[in-house]
Amino acid sequence: MIGLILVLKASKSALKYYVFEAGAKDPISQGKVRGIGEDGTGEIWHELTEGKVYTPDLSIPTVEAALASALRMMETNGVPVSSLAAVAHRVVHTADRFTESRLVDDEVIDAINEFALLAPDHNPATIDGIRAAEKLLPNLPNVAVFDTSFFSQLPDATAGYALPAELSDKLRLRKVGFHGPTHSYVANRVSLLLGRHELKQIVVYLGRWASISAIDSGRPIEVSTGITPIDGLPGRTVSGSIDPGIHRYVCEKTGMSIEEFDQLLREGSGLFGMTGQKSMVDVWAAADEGDQQARVGLGILVHRIVSLIAAYHVVLGGAQAISFTGTAGEQDHRLRRAVCDRLEVIGVDLDQNINEKTHSDVRSRIISTPHSAIPVLMIQQREALAIAREACALLEAQAEAVGQEEAE
């Protein structure tokens, strides 16, 4: 049995960490270090069973410093670093290079570097996190769990771009999808809750970033994100799909560089860019007060979600389940209702009472009526758990293989 797994999710400004016991559903320790590289504005939120420990006004210049702070916080609050057995890293982008989790080696590092331009907020920080773990936890194996591996086997008709084949082959230009561990985990939970493995389902992930997938009996058929996580749905600060011709037009008319416009699409667009509001709660409040931009922003988001669900319903040959997950997917009952009201045409019948009482503190559940032609569910996002489970499965398989070799 594998011991404690430390899960790390690194970005350019933050490091999230979780400690799981093998086989457990909930972390025994978790937290977030924010403000990396922002002198004097760093902070740590460390969650305990009875509350949170908050440490503000820190200088956290690097991901290594963030990990060192996290390890000290864990030690102080009852999780000795010596009890850790492995480190699992969320890796956002390696295209279709890997179809399953891997122990970190030079090939993995090279792939993360190769696709850093397509995930600049995450890939460089992930390498920093791996190097920090190797330095601060030198005796532990490091496991890479890839966002893109679940979607790496999308059908060619789904994944291909209408570009010259030579260019696509040279640069590996194809849709790879993101949030793979979450979509896979949610699909499995839906199947368990409905008691059906052979199930055509649509998973709607709504958070800072957002994506929708179509999954048939555990196999991905379609996903809204493309070769970058910007594609698809608008997120909190992310634009989602836009006309590719906008890039040249905006850059020539405004004098922006392509790098500046790319940053705008990732950090200054989405609901924040459309409405000026920083949270869904603020967007709904502004819309309730008659703010036209907030109403338009919500309208665009709901329209995009509904359009993709409708398309994937047809792609699947008739969806048999629809699930919502992610921060907004779990907490925002008004957004779920706005989407499901538009889906009545395909027989969706939301239980308004259950929906309004369902949020991320409630365990995963069905939120549609028994009469709904398609069951609708809210599923808790458990990305860190999914990553820990993948890492455990890899390490246990390797330990078993070593045991068999020694027995022979």
Sign for the CA dihedral angle at 78, 80, 85, 91 comes to positive
CATH number at residue 125: 3.30.420.40
Q: State whether 48 and 93 are in the same domain.
A: yes
> Does residue 213 share a domain with residue 78?
no
Phi-psi region of 347 (alpha: psi -120 to 50; beta: other; left: phi over 0): left
pLDDT tens-digit profile of 274-299? 999 989 999 999 999 999 999 999 99
As annotated, the active-site residues are 147
Positive or negative, the CA dihedral 241, 242, 244, 250 is negative
Kindly state whether residue 396 falls inside one of the protein's structural domains.
Answer: no
- Could you tell me which residues come within 8 angstroms of residue 190 by beta carbon, excluding any fewer than 6 positions away? 199, 201, 203, 321, 323, 377, 379
With respect to residue 404, please indicate whether it lies within any of the assigned structural domains. Answer: no
Average pLDDT over residues 383-406: 85
- Which residue segment(s) compose the domain that 61 sits in? 4-149
Average pLDDT, the chain: 94
Q: Judge whether residue 388 has pLDDT over 70.
A: yes
Q: Which helix (H) or strand (E) holds 14?
A: strand 14-20
Q: Which of 46-60, 333-347, 359-373 has the lowest mean pLDDT?
A: 46-60
**Does residue 57 carry a pLDDT above 90?**
no
**pLDDT digit string (tens) for 62-75?**
999 999 999 999 99
Together in a domain, 96 and 206: no
pTM for this model (two decimals): 0.93
Contact yes or no for 332/280 (Cβ under 8 A): yes
Q: How many CB atoms lie within 10 A of CB 232?
A: 25
The reported pLDDT for the residue numbered 406 is 62
Question: Has residue 2 got a pLDDT over 80?
Answer: no
Task: Check residue 403 and give its pLDDT.
Answer: 65
